[in-house]
Amino acid sequence: MVVFQKTLRNSISCTGVGLHGGKLINMKLAPAPVNSGIVFKRTDVDPSVSEIPAQYNTVTDLKMCTTVENAAGTKVATVEHLMAALSGCGVDNVLVELDGPEVPVMDGSSAPFVFLIECADIVEQDSPRRYIKVLKEVEVSDGEAKATLSPSDNISVAFEIDFDNPRIGKQNCSYSLRNGTFKNELSRARTFGFLGEFEQLKKLGLAKGGSLENAIVLSGTDILNEEGLRYDDEFVRHKALDAVGDLYLAGAPIIGEFYGFRSGHALNNKLLHAFFADEDAWCYTTEAPVRIANVGGAHWPAKKAAAPATD
C-alpha cells in the first residue's frame, strides 16, 4: 500500500519559554514542499546561514536534549518533542521558524505540538511517502544501556527504564505507532528530573526555563507537581516519546521495532549512525507498513494504556 507525503495546510505560530535559555521564543510551523523534510530556520540570524535540516547527521550536542546544527554553526536545541509530534502525526515536510536557539519547551511533552499541528490541519501532497525498512537487527550499547532496531512489519517502540529511585523503579512499555497511538498514549507524557539536578543545572547556567509548569520534578520519592502524574508510568512513556523524536531524525519513518533499555538521546543517535553505516541493515521503500499490526513487541506484549494517575 502506498501513502502520500503530508504537510500542513496552514501556518501556525506559538510563543513559549526555552528550557535551557529561559527566554521567550516565537515559533512558526509552515507548509513545505514535497521531499523537503523537516527544516529548522532561525529568523534571528543571517538568512544565508539560517536553515538546519532535521537529520541524525546534523546532531552535534546531546547533553540534556537533542541539538541540530548546520555547517555555519547555527544551532537549534531541544528538538525532540516537536520531532516526536511531527512523527506521530505523520507530517513529512514542514518549515519550523524560530527567533531563538531552542524549540519552546511548552509543558514538557509533545501534546501542545500535536494540538498546533491539528489546528493547522494536515494535507496530502502529490508524492509517495518514503519509508526506511529495517532488514536486520542493529544494536548499540553504553554500559548497561542499549538501543536496538529490529525487523518488523510495523513502526513500533518499546522501552524499559530502571531507576534506583523507588518512585520510578522499573517500568516498561511497548506501542505500535498506528491509528492515533502516539497522540493517545505517548504525546502527553512529560519530561522529568530531580530537584537537586535542576538546582545544579541552573547553577551551571542551564535549565533556566525549567519549572513545575514544564517538567515532572521529584524530591526524593515525592512528586512536587501539585497535579501529580498524568499516567502511573509517565516516566517510561516520556522516554519512549523522546525515542520517537530522535528516530525521526532518520529523515523518514522507520519500519521496524526500536527497543531501548535505559537509553537516552546520545545512544539513540549512536544507533542511527550504526544503522545507516551498515548498508545491509536497511533499504528505502514506498510500501507502507501493514495496517493490521502485530501489536506485540519483540520484548514483551504491547501494553494497554495505564489508568491515569490519581496522586
Q: How far apart are CA 195 and CA 31, in angstroms?
A: 39
Residues of the chain with pLDDT under 50: 292-308, 310-311
Q: Is residue 20 part of a domain?
A: yes
Q: Among residues 238, 265, 273, 299, which one is catalytic?
A: 265
- The pLDDT tens digits of the residues spanning 260-299 come to 999 999 999 999 999 999 999 999 999 999 753 333 333 4
- If you search the block for the grid coordinates 546531546, which residue do you land on? 62
Q: How far apart are CA 28 and CA 30, in angstroms?
A: 6
**CATH code at 36?**
3.30.230.20
271 membership: H or E segment, kind and range: helix 265-277
DSSP 216-235: EEEETTEE--TT--SSTTHH
Domain boundary among 93, 128, 163: 128
Are residue 31 and residue 160 in the same domain, yes or no?
A: no
Our count of domains for the chain comes to 2
Are residue 11 and residue 152 in the same domain, yes or no?
A: no
Q: Residue 206's pLDDT is what?
A: 65
Are residue 49 and residue 179 in the same domain, yes or no?
A: no
Q: Residue 209's pLDDT is what?
A: 83
Are residue 118 and residue 139 in the same domain, yes or no?
A: no
Q: Is residue 219 part of a domain?
A: no
Are residue 16 and residue 119 in the same domain, yes or no?
A: yes
CB 237 within 8 Å of CB 172: no
Are residue 63 and residue 101 in the same domain, yes or no?
A: yes
Are residue 80 and residue 170 in the same domain, yes or no?
A: no
Give backbone dihedrals phi and psi of 36, rounded to 5 degrees, phi first.
-90, -20
Q: Is residue 221 part of a domain?
A: no
- Name which of 92, 75, 74 is nearest 83 in CA terms: 92
Q: What is the 8-class DSSP label of residue 282?
A: E
Domain boundary among 104, 128, 152: 128
Q: Is residue 112 part of a domain?
A: yes
**CATH code at 269?**
3.30.1700.10
Query: Active site includes 81?
Result: no
- Name which of 180, 138, 152, 136 is nearest 296 in CA terms: 152
Are residue 145 and residue 124 in the same domain, yes or no?
A: no
Q: Is residue 208 part of a domain?
A: no
* Distances, alpha carbon 271 to alpha carbons 147, 182, 238, in Å: 7, 22, 19
CB 168 within 8 Å of CB 232: no
Q: Residue 303's pLDDT is what?
A: 38
Q: Is residue 212 part of a domain?
A: no
Domain boundary among 128, 148, 165: 128
Side-chain-side CA neighbours of residue 289 (13 Å): 24
Q: Residue 302's pLDDT is what?
A: 37
Q: Which domain holds residue 17?
A: 4-128
Q: Is residue 100 part of a domain?
A: yes
Q: Residue 297's pLDDT is what?
A: 34
Are residue 120 and residue 136 in the same domain, yes or no?
A: no
Residue type, 225: N
Are residue 142 and residue 246 in the same domain, yes or no?
A: yes
Are residue 168 and residue 77 in the same domain, yes or no?
A: no
DSSP 110-165: SHHHHHHHHHH-EEEEEEEPPEEEE-S-EEEEETTEEEEEE--SSEEEEEEEE-SS
- Name which of 69, 101, 65, 71 is nearest 84 in CA terms: 65
Are residue 141 and residue 244 in the same domain, yes or no?
A: yes
Q: Is residue 223 part of a domain?
A: no
